[in-house]
Amino acid sequence: MNFKELASEYKTPLYVYDLDYMSKQYQELKEAFRGRKSILAYAVKANSNLSVVKHFANLGSGADCVSIGEVRRAFLAGIPAYKIIFSGVGKSDDEIREAIEKDILYINVESEAELFRVAIIAKELNKISRISIRVNPNIDPQTHPYISTGLHDNKFGVDINTAKRMYIFSKNSDSLDPVGVHFHIGSQLTNLEPIYESAVIVADLVRSLEAIDIELKFFDIGGGLGITYDDEATIKPYDYAQAILGTLKGLDLTVICEPGRFLTANAGYFLTKVLYEKQNGAKKFVVVDGAMNDLLRPALYGAYHRIEAITDSASEPRTVDIVGPVCESGDFFAKDYLLPELNHNDLLVVHSAGAYGFGMGSNYNTRGRSAEVAVEKGQARLIRKRENFEDLIALEKEFLEN
C-alpha cells in the first residue's frame, strides 16, 4: 500500500482501510466455526462506515448494533433483518418500537426494567418481540477496565438468578418470545480461560432453562477477540471456537459471534503529516496535523498504536511526544516514542486504526473529521468525504439571530 500516494491524493488527516484484510479475517473466523450452525454478526460500532458494513454484508455477515442508528446503517448496507441484533444498555422507547417494527432477529435485553418496556411496547404494537437476555457471568476478562463488561461492577447484563426470572416472565408473556442468551465479557481479550469459564456458566443456564421447558435457539457469545497492537499474544480463532463449542455438548443452538476489532483494527491506518518539531526544555515534540478529535484512543485510555515514519531522514531515532493541534494536553498519539528527526510534511502512519478510530471522532475545536478511503484489490476509492466548515455549521447557521 503506497501511503505517500494516498496522502497526496486524498490529503491528511486520512483513514485508510484494507478491505482484503477484513475479508481474510472474516473468513478465518467463519472457518473456525465450520460444522456448527453459526452467524457472524459484525459489531457495527467498531467501524460503522456504510461501505465497510456493506463489505461484510456481501460476505454474508449479520450485524450487532448498539443504537437504532446502527440498525438503520445495517439495513442500508444490505444486511437482512433476520441477521440483525439490537444490543445496548439504554434503549429508548422509540428505539425499541422501531426495532420491533423492523422485525429484526432479536433485541438483546439488559435489565428487568428494559424487558418490561419491550413487553409493553410490543403489546401496544400488537406484535411478539423476539428477545435475548444478556447474562453477566461475573468473570474477570483480564483486559483494560474501560472495556471490561463481564463483572458485576460493570453496567452490562444481569446475574444468573435475575436472568432466570426474566426468562420465566418472557415465557409467560403474550408479547415476548425468548429465543436466545447472550454474554460478552469485554473487548481486546487475549486470554482464553475467562471466555471458556463464561461459556460454561451460560451453557449451564441454558440447560437449566430447558428443564423448565424454555428452549432457546441462539447462543450469542459476543465478540472481543483481541488483536496485536504491539507484541500481544492473541487467541487463535480455531482455539476460540473449540473452547466455546466444547461447552455446548447436547445443546442444539446456533452460535452467534459478534466480531468487531478482530475484523477491522489491523486493516486500518491513520495518516497524518508532520507540521514541525518543537523543543520545550528536555522534551521534544513532533506536532502533526491529526489530533485527538480524529483518533481518541490514546487520549481516552492510553491505547498504544505502532507509528511508522515515512521520511528521507537518516538520523538516529530519539524519544519524542507525538501531539496534535487540539488545545488540550491530552491531545497526543504517543509519548516517549522513538522516531528519527522529521521534517515538514513527512508522513506518519498510525497502525491498527481500523476499529474505534473514526467512529469515536468529533468536531472538537471546530475541526472537520477526516476523509475515509477503502483499498480493495489494489484500487483505492473514497468512501467518506472530508468534512468542511460548511458541514460543521449546517445545523446551526439558520438559528443565527439577525
Helix, strand or coil, per DSSP, at residue 126: coil
* β partners of residue 273: 347
**Runs of H (alpha helix) within 64-111:** 68-76, 93-101
In 80-161, at which residue ranges do the beta strands (DSSP E only) sit?
Answer: 84-86, 106-109, 129-134
How many whole angstroms separate alpha carbon 193 and alpha carbon 191? Answer: 6
Which H or E run contains 366?
A: none
Q: How far apart, in Å, are the Cα atoms of 82 and each of 10, 63, 74, 355?
A: 37, 10, 11, 25
Annotated binding site: 224, 258-261, 297, 301, 328, 356
How confident is the model at residue 37, as a pLDDT?
A: 95
Tell which residue, 394, 274, 285, has the closest CA to residue 335.
285
pLDDT in tens, 72-115: 999 999 999 999 999 999 999 999 999 999 999 999 999 999 99
- pLDDT, residue 160, reads 92
Q: What is the pLDDT of residue 298?
A: 96
At 267, which helix (H) or strand (E)? Answer: none
The confidence score (pLDDT) of residue 154 equals: 57
> Is the pTM above the cut of 0.85?
yes
Residues in binding site for substrate = 261, 297, 301, 328, 356
Could you give the domains of the chain? 3-13+266-393 (2.40.37.10), 33-259 (3.20.20.10)
The amino acid at residue 323 is: V
Which residues of the chain carry a pLDDT beneath 70? 140-155, 402
User: Quick one: which of 27, 28, 36, 73 has its CA closest to 52?
Assistant: 73
Of 113, 327, 395, 400, the active-site residue reads 327
Q: What are residue 53's phi and psi, to 5 degrees?
A: -60, -40
Distance CA 1, CA 398 (A): 43
327 is catalytic: yes
Give the DSSP per-residue string, 339-396. Answer: E----TT-EEEE-S-SSSSGGG---GGG-PPPEEEEEETTEEEEEEPPP-HHHHHTTT
CA-based angle 264:98:113, to the nearest 5?
90
Binding site, annotated residues for pyridoxal 5'-phosphate: 224, 258-261, 356
Sign of the torsion formed by the C-alpha atoms of 94, 135, 208 and 34:
positive
Residue in the block written with cell 481486546: 188
pLDDT given for residue 185 in this prediction: 84
First to last CA, the chain: 51
pLDDT at 314: 82
pLDDT in tens, 350-388: 999 999 999 999 999 999 999 999 999 999 999 999 999
